[in-house]
Structures are given as C-alpha cells and as structure tokens.
Amino acid sequence: MLIYLRVLKESFNFAINALKNNKLRTFLSLLGVTIGIFSIIAVLAAVDSLKREIDDSISSLDNSTIIVMRFSFGPTNIPRWKRQQFPDVTYDEYQYLSRYMPDTEAVSFALNVPSTSIKFEEKSISNVQIGAISYEYYDIESLQIAEGRFFNESESNSGTPVIILGDEISNTLFPSTTPLGKKVRLYGRKFVVIGVLKKEGASFLGGSKDTTVFIPVNMARKIFGDNNGSTFPQIVVKPKSGVDNAGYIALLKQKMRLSRGLKPDDIDNFFVNQMQGFTDLIDGITGTMNGIGWLISGFSLLVGGFGIANIMFVSVKERTNLIGIQKSLGAKNKFILFQFLFEAIILSVIGGLIGLFLVFLVSIVASSFTGDFDFVLSPWNMFIGTAISAIIGLIAGIIPAISASKLDPVEAIRTGM
C-alpha cells in the first residue's frame, strides 16, 4: 500500500512539474478536458436547476391529481381539427362527478379567466392573475391561509362576491392595515376581502399565488357566462390515497362518457390529464437536453483525451533515461505503469477541476442576473465532473503508460544519453 502512495506522490509531482515547465503546451492540451467538463456539468447543472424550479412550482399539487378538460397536457393521436370540436367541461359535469365518483378525496370546478386590474381606493395593481375556483380546491392544493379564512361551500355555490388575496397583492394594496372586511374592485364589481394567503415566493412557471387572487367560480360564471371564448373550464379531481391509478382513471372516463351520452364506438371528447403525466413530460424534455449536452461535450472530451495522451507520450520520451535508471535499480513494470497512469489521471483531473470552477463562477453570475432562478452546482454534478476527468485521464494515459513500462532498461538509458 505504501508503495502505491509513493507512486501517487511522485506522479503528482511530475504532473505539477509538467504544468510549471511547459505551461503553454500543458494548458493547450488540458483545454479540451476543461471545455468538455465545463460543457457537460454546465448542461447538467442548468437542467437540474430548471427541473428543481419546475418541481417546486407544481409541488403544491399531488402527482395523482387529475385535470379533466378539452385540452391535453401532452401529445395525442387525435387530429387537431377534431380536438377543436371538443366541448368544454361543464359545471353540471363537475357536480355529477362530485356525487357519483367513488374513492375521491375532492372534486373542484375551476374557470380560467383573463387577468385584470384590482383596485382599492386610489391604489391599483394591473395584470393580476385570477383563480376562479369552487371551495373544494382549498383542500386539493392545500392552500395556506395567513389571515382570515377561505370561502365556504355556501359562498362558493351562491357566487358570493368574496375574495382571497395573495401575499404580495395584500401588502401592495394594504401596506399598513388589515385587508379583512375591505372592499376591492375588479371586473367592475366589488369584492369583500375575507382572507390572505401565506407568502409562497416566486414561481418559475409564473402565476405565483403571491400575485394571485381567488374568487368563487360561480361569481366568475356570473361575470363571464358559460360560453365565453376568453375562458375555459376544467374539473380538478383528487383521488383518495392508495387508489389504483389506472382503474380510477378508467372509471372516471366511463363516468364522463356516460354523462355526455357517448356511444361505445365514439372517441372520448375530453382529456383526462394527470399531473404525473406532466412531470413525466418534463422529465423527458430534461432527459433530451442532458443527452444533447453529453453529445456536444463528448467531442471536447475526445479532443481533451488526445491532448492528455500527447502530454504523456512527450513525458515518456523526455524521461526515457530516468525510466531506464529506475528499471536498472529494480523498479518493476507495474511501478512504471502506475507512475505514468497516475500522472495522466492527475493532469486530467486538474483540467476537470478548472472546468468545474468555471461552472461555479457561471452559476453565481447566472443566479445574480436571473433573480428568483437559482442556478445550483450540486455535489453530485461535481462528483460526475471529477469522475469523468479521471476516466478520460485513465483512457488517454493507458497506452503511453504501457509503452513506458515495457521499455528495456539498457536501451532506455542509451536512448536517454
């Protein structure tokens, strides 16, 4: 064991001497490894950061949550012209599923409505996101109330003009007083503030609840009607935990078909979208991005490998005399092999560490410019970068190391002289 530590130490010293004595040659040779590691880890870190932001944005909804509407989350075999003929889901269908869908935690009706301005006295906020939902949505998304309460079943069903404010909306309109009981105006109507949501923070996908307000969906239906082209409804369903997913979705489709009176040979004129499907789609996209990053970076690593091999062949030639002396003093082939192999790995890892350091700098700069988006270089990605560097050094240095270990000591001393 001690001999290997001595070999490693000597190899490290030779690698450092190579960097000191031949700075330009070594720098150019390591440049390929540095660029390759930088490219791979930058892509991995960017994709990981992007995926983390997306997961955080949708974490409030359980993966088992189902959204029934006329649009599909992902690709579908149904032609576009046929999808455009699908009818919107209705409030009656929401009530039907609420009554007759077994093993269900909650069913909510939501209406996507245009953003608008919200006013209180002389203060106004434009482009506010409006969440028009039935009361059950409070349990589906586990909304957190900081002050006041959420609207109840009676207020939801009757369309009472009450409103829940996001944290940022509340602080902007009511910086020094409680908003509860105050009346705000939107869509030309007055709404009584009955609650304020806890601060959530910015969402990468947009539409943070801090900048959103919630109103009863039936109030929105009074304002927009049920056949307004600027809105589209959806039914949000949350199954009970432990329910068989495939069986539940099949039963849900059967209930919807029965409600719409579809014949056995008719296709479903609605889509049952599951949040798991959305996350799978995101995983597919990020996986493709990772693959492209690896492909592009592979060429840089290939060049870097040739650069390391070039350094090692030159190193073998420059130290031929020393190799002969070592062998004449009893050094075994294995000792010489590991000496040059460790040197190649150390040089490659140095190039990789430079690449990782550059990614670290870029992550700091990127995070400062993107504000709420955190570009994170994880320990796992750092480990991957270091491991790839070591593997590149191992592959690039194996042939020069073997050639050095097989040198005849007499010929090596004579050639060196």
In a domain, 21, yes or no: yes
The Cα 49–Cα 377 span in angstroms is: 8
* pLDDT, tens digit (0-9, with 9 covering 90-100), for 281-327: 666 677 777 777 777 777 777 777 888 788 778 777 777 777 777 77
The reply to whether 278 falls in a domain is no
* 313 and 245 fall within a common domain: no
Confidence bin at 142 (pLDDT 50/70/90): confident
Residues 161 and 301 in one domain: no
Asked, for residue 78, whether it belongs to a domain, the answer is no
Out of 235, 269, 303, pick the residue that ends a domain: 269
Same domain, yes or no, for 150 and 263? Answer: yes
Cross-strand pairs, 165: 196, 213
More confidently predicted of 155 and 74: 155
Q: What is the pLDDT of residue 154?
A: 94
Closest among 396, 403, 382 to 344, alpha carbons compared: 396
Separation CA 369–CA 204 (nearest Å) = 14
In a domain, 68, yes or no: no
Q: How many domains does the chain have?
A: 2
Q: What pTM value is reported for the model? A: 0.61
Among 221, 322, 271, 267, CA closest to 14: 322
Residue-averaged pLDDT of the chain: 81
pLDDT reported for residue 220: 93
Instruction: For residue range 379-402, list pLDDT tens digits in order.
Output: 887 888 888 888 888 888 888 878
On whether residue 75 sits in a domain, the answer given is no
From 215, 240, 269, give the residue that closes a domain: 269
Q: What is the mean pLDDT of residues 109-120?
A: 92
- Domain holding 190, by residue range, is 87-269
Joined tokens for residue 287: 């996986």
CB atoms within 10 A of CB 48: 18
Residue 59 has pLDDT above 60, yes or no: no
| Maximum CA extent, the chain | 101
Q: Which two tokens stand for residue 269?
A: 């004129």
Name the least confident of 58-62, 211-215, 280-284.
Answer: 58-62
How many CB atoms are closer than 10 A to CB 398?
16
Contact 136, 108 (CB under 8 A): yes
Residue 165: is its pLDDT beyond 70?
yes
115 and 254 together in one domain: yes
Given a cut of 90, whether residue 214 has pLDDT beyond it is yes
Quote the pLDDT of residue 134. Answer: 94
In tens, the pLDDT along 258-270 reads 999 999 888 999 9
Over range 238-245, report the average pLDDT.
87
Structure tokens at 326: 């070592």
Co-location of 113 and 199 in the same domain: yes
Q: Compute how many other C-beta atoms are within 10 angstroms of the C-beta atom of residue 99.
A: 9
In a shared domain, residues 93 and 207: yes
Q: Does residue 342 or residue 67 have the better pLDDT?
A: 67
Is 263 contained in some domain? yes
In whole angstroms, give the CA distance from residue 85 to residue 57.
31
Tell me, yes or no, whether 104 and 231 share the same domain. yes
One domain, residues 336 and 252? no
Which has the higher per-residue pLDDT, 51 or 159?
Answer: 159
Q: Does residue 260 sit in the same domain as residue 302? A: no
- Indicate whether 375 belongs to any domain: yes
Residue that terminates a domain, selected from 223, 241, 269:
269
346 and 410 co-located in one domain? yes
Domain annotation covers residue 276: no
* Two tokens, residue 186: 């939107």
Does residue 123 share a domain with residue 11?
no
Q: What is the 3-state secondary structure (H, E, C) of the chain?
A: CHHHHHHHHHHHHHHHHHHHHCHHHHHHHHHHHHHHHHHHHHHHHHHHHHHHHHHHHHCCCCCCCEEEECCCCCCCCCCHHHHCCCCCCCHHHHHHHHHHCCCEEEEEEEEECCCEEEEECCEEEEEEEEEEECCCHHHHCCCCEEEECCCCHHHHHHCCCEEEECHHHHHHHCCCCCCCCCEEEECCEEEEEEEEECCCCCCCCCCCHHHEEEEEHHHHHHHHCCCCCCCEEEEEEEECCCCCHHHHHHHHHHHHHHHHCCCCCCCCCCEEEEHHHHHHHHHHHHHHHHHHHHHHHHHHHHHHHHHHHHHHHHHHHHCHHHHHHHHHCCCCHHHHHHHHHHHHHHHHHHHHHHHHHHHHHHHHHHHHHHCCCCCCCCHHHHHHHHHHHHHHHHHHHHHHHHHHHCCCHHHHHHHHC
**Domain check: are 369 and 260 in the same one?**
no
